[in-house]
Amino acid sequence: MKINKEGYIIILVSALIIAGLLFLLNWLIPIKIIVGILAVMGIILFGLIIWFFRMPPRIPVIDGNKIIAPSDGKVVIIEKVHEPEYFNDERIQVSIFMSPLNVHAQWYPINGKVKYYKYHPGKYLVAWHPKSSTLNERSTLVLENDKGEEILVRQIAGAVARRIVTYSKVGDECKQGEEFGFIKFGSRIDLFLPLGTTIVTQLEEKVQGSLSTIAEF
């Protein structure tokens, strides 16, 4: 199983801390069965950390007419809203909530270029909070395809997430299904799409990044 590069240091540090604690507990606690139980708990915790940073092999959907899910998770919002940061007009918002058990990488939903990028420090409201899209720590990308159609993708930190990683910068080419970022430990992704876009996903639907179709131009 491939591990995302964002997990290398965390996995190494976690292994050293867990191993150190177990060695210390083995020395301090004479009752070996207790040490054994704690060792099993430590191994399970370490396994969960590795699982969080997994990168399963995927063959992304490549279709210029489709907008593909930028992340794994569950669709929690589909509605028409006013988008104030970049478009300053009405757009269709589609939000995907990622639990700590989802793959937390993000993939470009369309082909084109990165037209806009901005990182915003902020709060850490729970990711499903209505105002998390504008108040939480977040990064905003606007992508433009070769037809001049623009979509906005927003990475949002949640109550547990404490670091958003975005590899993109303005002017970069974006290839549908190519990884562009990672959010550590629970979060949400918002898409803001042009009015008239055909939404093919549904509320509560579980989607997979780079594989599931969210909408069509």
Residue 158: name the closest of 120, 203, 128 by CA: 128
**Max CA-CA distance within the chain?**
70
Residue 65: name the closest of 154, 166, 149 by CA: 149
Report which secondary-structure segment, H or E, holds 36.
Answer: helix 32-52
Residue 41 dihedral angles phi and psi, to the nearest 5°: -60, -40
Cα 23 to Cα 11, 39, 49, 153, 157: the distances in Å are 18, 10, 20, 45, 35
Residue 85 dihedral angles phi and psi, to the nearest 5°: -75, -45
DSSP 217: -
Give the DSSP per-residue string, 8-26. Answer: HHHHHHHHHHHHHHHHHHH
Active site includes 132? no
What SS3 class is residue 140?
strand
* 123 conformational bin, left if phi > 0, alpha if psi -120 to 50, beta if neither: beta
What SS3 class is residue 170?
coil
Q: Which of 95, 187, 210, 212 is catalytic?
A: 187
Catalytic residues: 187
